[in-house]
Amino acid sequence: MYRIGSIVLSIAIVALGLAMVAVTAARGGGPVSAGVVVGVLFCVVGAGRLYLWKDRG
């Protein structure tokens, strides 16, 4: 149950990051605006969690 929850949370974090980047871009934000930077960081963190889970699994 913990592994499934970890995978779902990681995917949700990546999706949230992508949504942040998309919304920021749609509202005219530049590549170094706060929404893009934080969104990319969310994607990196979520992908890192998935990578570490796969490495352990």
How many folded domains does the chain comprise?
A: 1
Mean pLDDT (the chain, rounded): 93
Instruction: Using pLDDT thresholds of 50, 70 and 90, give the confidence band for residue 57.
Output: low
**pTM recorded for the entire structure:** 0.88
More confident residue, 39 or 53: 39
Q: Which residues of 14-50 are buried (b: 16+ CB within 10 A; e: fewer)?
A: beebeebbeebeeeebeeeeebbeebeebbeebeebb
| Domain coverage including residue 43 | 2-56
